[in-house]
Amino acid sequence: MAAVNFEEVVHLVERLTRQEQRKLLRHLQTLADQRELTVDEKKALLDSVVIDAGPISPHYSDRREDWYDDDGQ
């Protein structure tokens, strides 16, 4: 079996029709659904939804006392 690099695959997929691309995506999703994700794949999946909201304000406090009145309510 000949080795194919990722860039070649991407180029070939881009030459497919939209319908063929959707069919390929469904096929790949079916393959992915048939096995358990590895720990690294799970980490990558979680990392893919992380949004960088920028630095935390120096005035931010996670202390309950700073969020509520003196009576804690």
Question: Which pLDDT score is estimated for 12?
Answer: 93
**Residue written as token pair 């590895």:** 38
pLDDT (tens, 9 = 90+) of the chain, 73 residues, equals 678 888 999 999 999 999 999 999 999 889 888 888 889 988 998 888 889 889 999 989 888 888 887 665 5
CA of residue 6 relative to chain centroid, distance: 19
Among residues 22, 23, 25, 44, the alpha carbon closest in space to that of 33 is found at 25
Question: Which pLDDT score is estimated for 55?
Answer: 92
Question: Which pLDDT score is estimated for 68?
Answer: 83
From CA 48, how far away is CA 42, in angstroms rounded?
A: 10
Question: Which pLDDT score is estimated for 73?
Answer: 55
CA of residue 25 relative to chain centroid, distance: 16
Question: Which pLDDT score is estimated for 16?
Answer: 95
